[in-house]
Amino acid sequence: MKNRDKKEKNVKETREKYLKLKKEIDTHNKLYYDENNPKISDEKYDKIWRELKNLEINFPFLKNKESPIQKVGYKPNKNFSKIEHTYPMLSLENALNLDEIKKYIEKTLRYLNIKNQFIELTAEPKIDGLSISLKYKNGEFISGATRGDGQIGEDVTSSLKTIKDIPKNIPDLKKINLFEIRGEIYMNKEDFLNLNKKREKNGESLFANPRNAASGSLRQLNKDIVKERKLKFFAYTYGEISENISFKSQSDFLNKIKDFGFPTNNYLQICNNFNDVENFYNKIEKNRSNLKYDIDGIVYKINDINIQKRLGLVGRAPRWAVARKFPAEKAETKINKITIQVGRTGILTPVAELDPVFVGGVKVSRVSLHNQDEIDRKDIRVGDTIKLQRAGDVIPQVISVEKNKRIKNSQKFLIPSLCPCCNSKTLRKKNEVAIKCTGGLKKCEDQQLGSLEYFVSRDAFNIEGLGGKNLKKFWKEGFIKYPYEIFYLNKYKNDIINKDGFGEKSYLNLINSINEKKTIPLEKFIYSLGIPQIGQRTSNLLSKHFKNFDSWFESIKELSNNNSKTHDQYINIDGIGPDVVDDIKIFFDKEKIEIVNKLKNALNKINEYKSIKTNSKLSEKIIVFTGTLEKMSRNEAKSKAEEMGAKVTNSVSNNTDYLIAGKDSGSKEKKARELNVKILNEKEWIKFLV
Ligand code: IVH
């Protein structure tokens, strides 16, 4: 290969790697910040983040405004009004070990042109909650906001007002026009455990850890619920403050605000050398599991506030602080049994039943082993002693098997060839990791119950009163086997009323909430069926394409009759790939088609797909984006346009109504001019949205 070709190939590979990592970080940012539902550990996240950052450092041409490295947090959620931060709410630079703290100090001293070996630091625990800004006007609490994307946060004032730890009126600050305190909202481990217990009992989804529970609770719109959640607060820095108040140092600041009534963390140490730095880290890490709340590291700050001011910020973090994170908490325990769970799609998941053990403040008694490959890779057997961690500290996972503690005569574990629920054969398809039960809905009760649970869940038919226990009860009684039977539950009125806990009134409430759902939008209907790979986005795409139930259902029947035209029609829907079409086809066997038909007949109406704003200026318009937008990402712009009824395509043609041209637009803009297509700049485009 010629040198130039080699170079081009390298650039291409680097760019691909960069985009892959960026996509991963974007996905995990959304899960963590917006959905309070992280799927990977902080350690794993930090690793990907560092990899991405190193790529940007080594290949600066990759960098752009969309890079998650340059950003803080995640854009504020649509359900809240917004508060713009006067000073950005930042993130912290991380150091992996003492050496990196030493490098940080050297760099800082160089920047300040100070010839010493050390500079006084404060050391504080890094609270694992969510950061918050609180504003006080003449001593009165007036508003509070989450960090959001660092510039604009979510207005959560009314939730914050329910939190006891937050002072609402501070006489000492009466003469201070504006005082903005920043700190962390968190939940005690015990309150988190109790909350999850209650949620489990009510059949609600569980929070992964106290941080998510705190974030989910604060962003609850029902204030009574927020109050019940017992959220707590620690203050650790300030934002915008009036000129007539100032502090000498971080420690002076913490002492004073404590007197004002703000809760501050008890563990504060001034460090005068690296020994202090290391000792504090070790002391707190050792004591970590005894604290009432989760912490995930230590934050070191330059103590002198004047020096802090000189240091300012760089990118997304202040130069005056650095965090050293703790490794994920680990624990050792024994596998007593490996059981198999059969999910709604028939996938068999092996689950290790453990001697219960506390990890990161949470009692863990089961851990998913995911699939056969994972079991083989780690060679996990019944009776083994394993090391596990609550990643992130999110979902527990097996790190490794302690082979030296293995019992004699232990056997390799194999996922069974017969389904433990219905005894049908199990099957592993070529190129797939999952082993599936072949019994289908008719035979396999676990699949039946799983798909019923999915069907009534919040994003699907959302039938209140059928979550958790009741559904299982009716299913066990044989009242409901398939989703459509939910709508005929009134046949069993007498049985239900005579059962425990079901008086006439609760029966009527249940039937009313079922009847309310007899009219449903097409996209929800499709989503509720639980077709593999068809989540909310894809069911939206399908309903948008087929518009009404009849034409969608017709296409399904054609697809299962192997009609190649329909197959092509599906593949041509923007956002739907061949593997998705295959999954749809496999899902709709004769039995499922019959079930869908019966479900349709049980309902009053399946509403046609309607774009959210049919009478908007963009309704039915065909638009193309080009160049870089500054105020929003291409993805956000695209989905805004689609919400307003526009169709977004990739290339300019005679049919294009508008070309939205951001910065550095190239050939598309030229073509649009040639074809006389109306061109909007970013400002004009934003005007369309309001
Ligand atoms: S000082 C960044 N002190 O950690 C601006 N932050 O991972 C100065 N955090 O966004 C923050 N405990 O939410 C500071 N004792 C502490 C902290 C702390 C937790 C959070 C904060 C920040 C995040 C960065």
CB of 237 sitting under 6 A from ligand 1 = yes
Average pLDDT for the chain: 89
Q: Bigger pLDDT: 498 or 78?
A: 498
91 CB under 6 A from ligand 1?
yes
Q: Is 296 in the pocket of ligand 1 (CB under 6 A)?
A: no
Per-residue pLDDT band at 78 (split at 50, 70, 90): low
**Closest C-alpha to ligand 1, atom 23:** 91
Residue 33 near ligand 1, beta carbon < 6 Å: no
pLDDT (average), residues 447-453? 93
- Which residues does 442 contact at the CB level (< 8 Å), separation at least 6? 591
- Please report the atom of ligand 1 found closest to the CA of residue 124: 15
Q: Among 60-64, 261-265, 539-543, name the one with the lowest average pLDDT.
A: 60-64
**Cβ of residue 299 lying under 6 Å from some atom of ligand 1:** yes
CA distance 649 to 574: 9
Task: Give the Å distance between the CA of 92 and the centre of ligand 1.
Answer: 7
CB 70, CB 63: distance < 8 Å = yes
- Beta sheet of 330-342, edge-to-edge order: 362-368, 348-359, 330-342, 385-390, 396-401
Q: In a 10 Å sphere around its CB, with 0-12 CB exposed, 13-18 middle and 19+ buried, how is residue 21 labelled?
A: middle
The angle formed by the CA atoms of residues 266, 267 and 270, to the nearest 5 degrees, is 120
- Looking at residue 573, the DSSP 8-state letter turns out to be S
* Ligand 1 pocket test target in 299, 324, 326 with most atoms within 8 Å of CB: 299
What's residue 2's pLDDT?
Answer: 66
Taking the centre of ligand 1 as the mean of its atom positions, its distance from the CA of residue 301, in whole angstroms, is 10
**Residue 132 Cα, ligand 1 centroid: separation in angstroms?**
10
State how far the Cα of 596 lies from the Cα of 591, in Å rounded to an integer. Answer: 9
Asked whether the beta carbons of 441 and 447 are under 8 A apart, the reply is yes
Q: State if residue 184 touches ligand 1 by the CB under 6 angstroms criterion.
A: yes
> What whole-number distance in Å separates Cα of residue 444 and Cα of residue 419?
8
Decide: 183 and 132 in contact? Cβ < 8 Å: yes
Q: Which residue of 71, 127, 187, 265 sits with most ligand 1 atoms within 8 Å of its CB, as the best mutation to test the pocket?
A: 127
Integer CA distances (angstroms), 95 to 29, 126, 260, in order:
20, 13, 33
Backbone φ/ψ region at 133: left (φ over 0), alpha (ψ -120 to 50), beta: beta
The reported pLDDT for the residue numbered 639 is 66
Range 194-220 average pLDDT: 83
Q: Is position 126 annotated as part of the catalytic site?
A: yes
CA angle (150, 182, 155) in 5-degree steps: 60
The span from the CA of 244 to the CA of 610, in Å, is 56
* Pocket of ligand 1 contains residue 92 by CB under 6 Å: yes
List of residues 6+ apart from 463 with CB closer than 8 A: 456, 486, 513, 514, 517
* Tens digits of residue pLDDT in 596-635: 999 999 999 999 887 655 567 888 888 999 888 877 667 6
Report the distance separating Cα 40 and Cα 173, nearest Å: 43
Strand extents, DSSP E, 59-151: 82-84, 94-95, 121-127, 130-137, 140-146
The answer to whether the CB of 90 is under 6 A from ligand 1 is yes
d(CA 374, CA 332): 19
Instruction: Please check the confidence at residue 463 and state whether its pLDDT lies above 80.
Output: yes
Partners of residue 401 on adjacent β-strands: 386
* pLDDT band at residue 83 using 50, 70 and 90 as cut-offs: very high
Report yes or no: 244 and 101 within 8 Å, Cβ to Cβ.
no
Residue located nearest, by CA, to atom 16 of ligand 1: 126
Residues 6+ apart with CB under 8 A from 491: 479
Element (H, E) at 678: strand 678-680
Residue 135: strand, helix, or coil: strand
Strand partners for 659: 624, 679
Locate the ligand 1 atom nearest the alpha carbon of residue 147 and give its number: 10
Q: 119 and 302 in contact (C-beta within 8 Å)?
A: yes
- At residue 414, the pLDDT reads 97
CA of 73 to the centre of ligand 1 (A): 12
pLDDT of residue 500: 64
Ligand 1 pocket mutation, candidates 126, 130, 185, 240, criterion most atoms within 8 A of CB: 126
Report DSSP letters for 151-205, one per residue. SEEEB-HHHHTT-TTS-SB-GGGTT-SEEEEEEEEE--HHHHHHHHHHHHHTTPP
Mean pLDDT calculated for residue range 76-86: 82
Q: From the CB of 126, is ligand 1 less than 6 Å away?
A: yes
Distance (angstroms) between ligand 1 centre and the Cα of 146 equals 13
Task: Return the bridge partners of 181, or none.
Answer: 134, 238
Q: Residue 54: CB partners within 8 Å, gap ≥ 6? A: none
Predicted local confidence at residue 635, as pLDDT:
65
- Dist. CA 126 → ligand 1 center (Å): 6
Query: Residue 397: is its pLDDT beyond 80?
Result: yes
The rounded Å distance from CA 384 to ligand 1 centre is 40
The CA distance from 302 to 307, in Å, is 7
Residue 321: CB within 6 Å of ligand 1?
yes
Average pLDDT over residues 669-683: 91
Q: Please list the residues that pair with 625 across neighbouring strands.
A: 660
Rg (CA), the chain: 29
Residue 69: pLDDT band with limits 50, 70, 90: confident
What is the token pair recorded at 37? 């539902």
Report the C-alpha dihedral over residues 606, 610, 612, 613, rounded to 10 degrees.
Answer: -140
**Average pLDDT of the residues in 285-298:** 90
pLDDT(640) > 80: no
Ligand 1, from 89, 184, 215, 291: best to mutate by most atoms within 8 Å of Cβ? 184
Q: Is the pLDDT of residue 339 over 90?
A: yes
Task: Give the residue, by CA position, lying nearest to ligand 1 atom 3.
Answer: 236
Identify the pLDDT of residue 16. Answer: 87
If one compares 62 and 529, the residue with the highest pLDDT of the two is 529
With b for 16 or more beta-carbon neighbours within 10 A and e for fewer, the 417-456 pattern comes to eebebbebebeeeeeeebbbbebebeebebbbbbbbbbbb
The alpha carbon of 370 and the centre of ligand 1 are apart by a number of angstroms equal to: 34
Q: 644 burial class (0-12, 13-18, 19+ CB within 10 angstroms)?
A: buried
CA distance 360 to 351: 20
Q: How far is the CA of 211 from the centre of ligand 1 (A)?
A: 13
What is the mean predicted confidence (pLDDT) over 410-436? Answer: 94
Higher pLDDT: 493 or 616? It is 493
Q: In 323-431, which residue ranges form alpha helices assigned H by DSSP?
A: 372-378
Question: Residues with Cβ < 8 Å from 283, sequence gap 6 or more?
Answer: none
